[in-house]
Each structure stands twice: as structure tokens, then as C-alpha cells.
Amino acid sequence: GAVVSQHPSRVICKSGTSVKIECRSLDFQATTMFWYRQFPKQSLMLMATSNEGSKATYEQGVEKDKFLINHASLTLSTLTVTSAHPEDSSFYICSASRRLLRGYTFGSGTRLTVV
């Protein structure tokens, strides 16, 4: 149990366009999901906490207007990178948990390349 599906796994987009990444909890309901960003050879950095039915909570330094998060249902959260620039190229990972502190399940990640 506790499977998290992330889509797409890879995406290449042109500068100035927007990209949407989906994160789904397949066999459980997740009231909270998390979005991380990971640069090469670095650790995971939390970008925002996505709460079902309410606004996301962004970490300091993360632009909420650039990284739009929508958590409209208990099984789906989306991250939209708006007006993407090459510096937005990174590995984006979502996670969700059914039970607090029992270990969050991570999606398989999305490799975004902005050209």
C-alpha cells in the first residue's frame, strides 16, 4: 500500500511556457502532499506543503506565483511551473503520507528541462 504516482517522468519545454506536474496517491487519501526540488548531487529541498481544499504553504524563497500548487482532491496535487526559465530545470519530487511520521511515500520524480 501507500503508492504515489507522479507524471510525467520527464518533460522538456521552451522558455516562457508552463508545465504541469501531477502527483496522485493511488491507494490512499492524502490530505497533505509535499513538493520538493532536487538539484544534481544535492539533497531534497522542500518547496511547499499542499493541503487539500486550501492554499499551499510555501517555504521561504519559493515564489508562489511561479510555482502554482493545486490540491483539489484527496488523491491529486498538481504543481505548475509558470513562465519556465532554464534555471527552473531540476528534478521535482512529490510525497504524501497516510499516517503522520510513518514515513512519507515519494513519487518517482519529474525531470524538467527548460530550453
CA-wise closest residue to 106 among 89, 84, 90, 91: 91
CB nearer to another protein: give 46 or 74.
Answer: 46
User: Is 106 a residue that touches another protein (CB under 8 A)?
Assistant: yes
Residue 15 · residue 85 · CB < 8 Å: yes
CB nearer to another protein: give 47 or 84.
Answer: 47
User: Is 89 a residue that touches another protein (CB under 8 A)?
Assistant: no
CB nearer to another protein: give 5 or 82.
Answer: 5
Q: Where do contacts with another protein occur on this chain (CB under 8 A)?
A: 4, 6, 9, 32, 34, 41-44, 46, 49, 91, 93, 95, 100-109, 111
